[in-house]
């Protein structure tokens, strides 16, 4: 067995601590959904069984609520004491009666000092003191974390500075970088443990009452810290990324918090960060009280492919080698599932280091090997071969067959190059941020994308070695990944063209957006203003200002300090009709028995009605959002591009119920009970996969 693995015990009581309480406890009159993804172990499991295989076909809409907003409504909603709390597409927070959908209160961040608020907020954090007299909600807006009174929605002025803490502070770096929060943290005792997006890389714990930082774990190690030698010297002063954006899970009985981390930046060219780059792309176990590292495993070394770990670790208990073992399962974008003993960090099945392609880019040193679990088997195809070309139409067959014969294809770890390469598994999974669900039987349920993408780097200099004009060069480095090399946008990925941006925004608005971020676009606040002016001049087809021309004094020297390559942009590979250019399935739902490491079943997830009408079996669709598994024997999931929510038999994968949604349910459902009636609720905002956008909550229940 060959794998890169380090661990150490944090405290002697870890091995003797009691197991987590069973999630199969008897139903109460009211059963809540009090934490993101159901519980702090992120199991996405509900012990409720009123809705079961026998009656699920009778589910009907119980109530709806329209936020009045449009966008990627991805919130996994909390339900506590008969009150549902949701974070809307524009990051407002709303409290509703969970049985009726009647609005109780609404908090609008525009009335606070939130600044620009990125969208894609996936949930809230709820905290209540021991006697139940005080309850707080924590929500991120812009570069701030706010504390709200859960009963009234009022900002709690005693938290932080007047009710909020600026997330860019207390990071042990110079200045105050822009840091956001799109996935909620986790509560341990009186600590709120969070990650974030943007910034230099850290996990932190804050006092839930005061907002004071209680501990920090540096994800880019400092001198004397473990992993410092996996980076160039003093990399912590300049490197960025690594924030554990996808959420944390907690073994509350043992006091262990688990993080899944992001790629180091820049994502696709790592000549300035040679080495394995701990703790990027890693599963890390920390002492929840102190932030001290207990063990870790790096799932991708020196990542060059944006393979950040996309979903929160899932805690579950399995029978392995004749023993009951508390485990942690971590999904990946390349469809592989890594499973560890959550106390010791030992993998349940061997993990092998296997050779991967070397890089031909100047200055790059790709990792020689990458970890591959021997079990479970990958949950998706790992290579796109001629046998996998799309045949949904004669035109698709011809297009995909011709292109695959001229494009390189290296499996899950191609080395970025100037040549167009098929990226399969693709950039958006495999697994995505919705993650997986786990039942008490040790079975793991997860949805998978099987969409090919195109990978290509571009040079930032002309063939004679002279630099491109500063604005064009910096555009390629900073903007082309989303808006395309030619500024035409990437519509299939949801990124707009910039060729006509003048017709939609004023120059002042464009400048502000590049500084503060907007929607899916992060803040580019570290770019100096002259560089920003040059980029905008190029985007807006304005004359190149003096000092920004390639022949100006200092321009060539400046170019020499910039990467020689830029990423050519996120491009899905589709046929001329817009369908993925690969043989279906394009999206699947999977059940994996983690007691044995074997796949139980795999079924298509979603369909395109127009293809079904042509006699093509359900293909599955691109899917975003996660599943919920219940004691009633059901797996509920929306996620698909066909505006439908479904219930599957958890033992067989058979579809037992489906219902239309007003917009795509690109979120994870919540399951709860109020006054003896069980509900299923989903945030439906669409906007993914080019679908219509809205902002509705839809709750289902059995007829009364």
Read off the pLDDT of residues 293-309 as tens digits, 9 standing for 90 and up.
999 999 999 999 999 99
Q: Are 83 and 477 in contact (CB under 8 A)?
A: no
pLDDT at 343: 98
pLDDT at 1: 36
- Residue 557 is predicted with a pLDDT of 47
- Report the pLDDT value the prediction gives residue 478, as an integer from 0 to 100: 77
Identify the pLDDT of residue 519: 66
Q: Report which of 657, 661, 658 is spatially closest to residue 683, judged by C-alpha positions.
A: 661
For residue 495, pLDDT beyond 80: no
User: Rounded mean pLDDT of the chain?
Assistant: 90
Please check whether residue 443 is in contact with residue 436, taking contact to mean a CB–CB distance below 8 angstroms.
no
Q: How many CA atoms lie within 13 A of 265 on its CB side?
A: 13
Count of residues making up the chain? 704
Place of tokens 């691109």: 622
pLDDT tens column, 374-432 = 999 999 999 998 899 999 999 899 888 888 887 777 899 999 999 889 999 999 999 99
- 54 close to 46: Cβ distance less than 8 angstroms: no
Q: For residue 517, what pLDDT is reported? A: 73
Separation of alpha carbons 194 and 288, rounded Å: 11
Q: What is the DSSP string of 417-473?
A: -SS-EEESSBTTBSS-TT-EEE-TTSEEEEEEE---EEE-EEESB-TTSPBPPHHHH
Is residue 10 over pLDDT 50? no
Closest CA to 396 of 172, 262, 646, 576: 576
Strand partners, 165: 145
Lowest-confidence pick of 212-216, 237-241, 300-304, 361-365: 237-241
pLDDT in tens, 551-606: 444 445 455 567 889 898 888 999 889 999 999 999 999 999 999 999 999 999 99
Lowest mean pLDDT among 74-88, 182-196, 252-266, 457-471: 457-471
Mean pLDDT, residues 192-218? 96
Q: Positive or negative, the Cα torsion across 437, 627, 648, 84?
A: positive
What whole-number percentage of the chain has pLDDT above 70?
91
- Nearest residue to 662 via CA among 680, 676, 682: 682
Alpha carbon distance 342, 262 (integer Å): 20
State what percent of residues in the chain have pLDDT above 90. Answer: 72
List 65's β-bridge partners, or say none. Answer: 697
| 335 neighbors 380 (Cβ within 8 angstroms) | yes
Average pLDDT over residues 603-612: 97
Winning range, highest mean pLDDT, from 230-244, 559-573, 649-663: 649-663
Dihedral pair phi/psi, residue 700, rounded to 5° = -120, 150
Residue 585, preceding bond cis, omega within 30 degrees? yes
- Cα dist from 188 to 13, 124, 126, 341, whole Å: 17, 15, 11, 21
Distance separating alpha carbons of residues 514 and 512, to the nearest angstrom: 5
pLDDT at 15: 33
User: Which tokens is 243 given?
Assistant: 């924030």
691: preceding bond cis by omega (within 30 degrees): no
- The two tokens of residue 38 are 């159901």
For residues 160-177, give the mean pLDDT. 95
What the block records as the tokens of 14 is: 């870890």
Q: Could you tell me where the beta strands, DSSP code E, fall in 290-431?
A: 293-298, 314-320, 323-331, 337-341, 351-355, 369-373, 408-409, 421-423
Query: Are 46 and 628 a contacting pair, CB within 8 Å?
Result: yes
H helices of 195-314, where?
none
Neighbours of 323 (CB within 10 A): 7
User: What confidence category does residue 110 fall into, taking pLDDT thresholds of 50, 70 and 90?
Assistant: confident
Residue 240's contacts (CB-CB under 8 Å, 6 or more residues apart) are 177, 198, 199, 200, 201, 264, 265
pLDDT for 591 equals 99
Structural domain boundaries of the chain? 457-568
Region class of 247: left (phi > 0), else alpha (psi between -120 and 50), else beta: left
Instruction: Tell me which of 226-235, 348-357, 563-572, 589-598 is least confident.
Output: 563-572
- What number is the average pLDDT over the span 364-372? 97
For residue 617, the 8-state DSSP code is P
Residue 545: predicted pLDDT = 57
- Average pLDDT for 455-468: 83
Q: In the structure encoding, which two tokens stand for residue 311, read together? A: 């979903």
Q: Determine contact, residues 556/421, Cβ cutoff 8 Å.
A: no
Residue 554: its pLDDT value, please?
Answer: 44
Burial class (CB in 10 A: 0-12, 13-18, 19+), 65: buried
Pairing of strands 408-409, 421-423: parallel
Chain segment 332-344, per-residue pLDDT in tens:
999 999 999 999 9
pLDDT band for position 681 (cuts 50, 70, 90): very high
Q: Establish how many alpha carbons lie within 13 A of residue 273's alpha carbon, considering only the half-sphere containing its beta carbon.
A: 28
> Superfamily for 457-568?
Cytochrome c-like domain (1.10.760.10)
pTM of the model: 0.89
Higher pLDDT pick, 470 / 669: 669
Which residue in 628, 447, 436, 446 sits closest to 48, CA to CA? 628
Instruction: Enter the DSSP assignment of 477.
Output: H
**For 2-11, 30-39, 573-582, 684-693, which range has the lowest pLDDT when averaged over its residues?**
2-11
pLDDT at 435 over 90: yes
11 has a pLDDT exceeding 60: no
């Amino acid at each position: 067995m060959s794998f890169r693995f380090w661990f150490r015990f944090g405290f002697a009581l870890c091995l003797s601590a009691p197991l987590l309480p069973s999630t199969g406890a008897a139903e109460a009159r009211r059963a809540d959904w009090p934490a993101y993804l159901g519980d702090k172990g992120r199991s996405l499991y509900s012990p409720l069984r009123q809705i079961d295989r026998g009656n699920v076909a009778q589910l009907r809409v119980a109530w709806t609520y329209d936020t009045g907003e449009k966008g990627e409504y991805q919130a996994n909603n909390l339900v506590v004491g008969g009150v549902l709390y949701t974070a809307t597409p524009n990051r407002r927070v709303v409290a509703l009666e969970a049985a009726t959908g009647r609005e109780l209160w609404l908090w609008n961040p525009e009335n606070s000092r939130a600044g620009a608020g990125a969208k894609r907020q996936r949930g809230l954090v709820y905290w209540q003191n021991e006697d139940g007299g005080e309850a707080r909600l924590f929500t991120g807006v812009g570069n701030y974390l706010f504390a709200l009174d859960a009963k009234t929605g009022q900002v709690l002025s005693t938290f932080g500075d007047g009710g909020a803490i600026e997330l860019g502070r207390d990071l042990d770096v110079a200045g105050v970088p822009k840091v956001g929060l799109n996935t909620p943290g986790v509560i341990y005792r009186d600590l709120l443990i969070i990650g974030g997006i943007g910034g230099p890389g850290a996990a932190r714990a804050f006092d839930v009452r005061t907002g004071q930082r209680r501990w920090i774990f540096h994800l880019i190690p400092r001198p004397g810290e473990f992993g410092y030698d996996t980076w160039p010297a003093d990399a912590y002063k300049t490197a960025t990324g690594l924030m554990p954006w996808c959420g944390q899970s907690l073994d509350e009985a043992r006091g262990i918090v688990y993080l899944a981390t992001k790629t180091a930046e820049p994502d696709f060219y790592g000549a300035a960060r040679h080495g394995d780059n701990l703790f990027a792309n890693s599963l890390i176990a920390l002492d929840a009280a102190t932030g001290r590292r207990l063990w870790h495993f790096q799932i991708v070394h020196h990542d060059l492919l944006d393979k950040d770990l996309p979903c929160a670790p899932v805690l579950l208990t399995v029978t392995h080698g004749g023993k009951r073992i508390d485990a942690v399962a971590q999904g990946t974008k390349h469809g592989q599932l890594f499973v560890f003993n959550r106390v010791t960090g030992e993998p349940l099945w061997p993990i092998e280091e296997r050779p991967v392609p070397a890089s031909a880019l100047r200055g790059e040193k790709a990792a020689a090997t990458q970890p591959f679990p021997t079990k479970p088997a990958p949950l998706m195809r790992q290579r796109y071969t001629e046998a996998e070309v799309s045949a949904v139409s004669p035109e698709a067959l011809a297009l995909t067959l011709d292109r695959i014969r001229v494009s390189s294809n290296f499996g899950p770890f191609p080395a970025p190059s100037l040549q167009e390469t098929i990226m399969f598994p693709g950039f958006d999974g495999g697994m995505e941020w919705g993650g997986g669900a786990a039942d008490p039987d040790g079975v793991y349920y997860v949805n998978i994308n099987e969409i090919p993408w195109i990978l290509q780097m571009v040079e930032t200099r002309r063939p004679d070695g002279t630099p491109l004009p500063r604005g064009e060069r910096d555009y390629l480095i900073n903007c082309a990944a989303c808006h395309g090399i030619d500024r035409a946008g990437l519509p299939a990925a949801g990124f707009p063209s910039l060729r006509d941006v003048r017709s939609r925004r004023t120059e002042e608005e464009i400048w502000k957006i590049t500084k503060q971020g907007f929607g899916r676009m992060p803040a580019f606040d570290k770019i100096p203003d002259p560089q920003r002016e040059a980029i905008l001049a190029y985007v807006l087809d304005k004359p190149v200002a003096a000092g920004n021309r390639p022949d100006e004094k200092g321009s060539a020297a400046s170019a020499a300090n910039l990467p020689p390559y830029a990423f050519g942009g996120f491009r899905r590979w589709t046929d001329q009709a817009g369908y993925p250019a690969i043989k279906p399935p394009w999206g699947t739902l999977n059940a994996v028995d983690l007691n044995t490491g074997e796949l139980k079943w795999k079924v298509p997830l979603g369909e395109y009605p127009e293809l079904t009408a042509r006699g093509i079996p359900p293909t599955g669709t691109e899917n975003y959002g996660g599943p919920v598994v219940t004691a009633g024997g059901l797996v509920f999931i929306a996620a698909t591009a066909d505006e439908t929510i479904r219930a599957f038999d958890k033992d067989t994968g058979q579809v037992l119920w489906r219902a239309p949604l007003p917009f795509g349910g690109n979120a994870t459902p919540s399951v709860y009970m109020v006054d003896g009636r069980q509900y299923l609720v989903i945030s439906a905002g669409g906007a993914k996969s080019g679908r219509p956008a809205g902002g509705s909550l839809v709750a289902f229940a059995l007829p009364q």
